[in-house]
Amino acid sequence: MKLESNAAIQIQKPIEKVFEGIVNPDIMTKYFISESSGWLETGKELIWKFPEFEEKFPITEVKVENNKSISFVWDPETVVLITLKSLPDNTTLVRVNETGKVLTEDNLKWALENSGGWANFLACMKAYLEYGIQLRKGAFDYLRKDKYS
């Protein structure tokens, strides 16, 4: 049995704007990551950095279908799939699925934490794309070892 982490949200923007908000690092750094080595594009390998962690995260096996889906690997055991669906009112349904880990106690904890993490990603993206609000800014500073250890 493979575990899954899932989250979904509806964003009050057309699919093209939401898609660009995910693949364009200039936008993504406003609500999710602090640095990216480039755009999410099929076949490209990237490095992401988060403001609250010193580590850098390699993003590999990127596959992008314009205005439909983005998938990538950042944990060798899992694949992240972000799908977009245009709704009749010109809004966009965004779903995130991360799957691949086998069922163990540690991996069950991972699935629960990542479901919350992806829900946070979606809420931050919604706030930024709809209202220009940066929800993530300072939200996880307590995790920074250099500030609070």
Which pair of structure tokens corresponds to residue 79?
């694949």
Q: Which residue did the predictor score with more confidence, 141 or 34? A: 34
Q: Which domains does the chain have, with CATH numbers?
A: 2-148 (3.30.530.20)
Model pLDDT for residues 67-83, shown as the tens digit of each residue: 999 999 999 999 999 99
Give the pLDDT score at 1. Answer: 84
Helices (DSSP H) in 49-144: which residue ranges? 105-131
Which residue is it, tokens 């964003």? 11
CA separation for the pair 147, 99 (Å, rounded): 33
Question: pTM for this one?
Answer: 0.92
Most confident of 19-23, 49-53, 139-143: 19-23
CA separation for the pair 87, 82 (Å, rounded): 16
Distance of CA 3 to the CA centre of its chain: 18
Q: Which residues contact 27 (CB under 8 A, 6 or more apart)?
A: 20, 21, 128, 129
Give the pLDDT score at 143. Answer: 74
Give the pLDDT score at 125. Answer: 98
What number of helices (H) and strands (E) belong to the chain? 4, 7
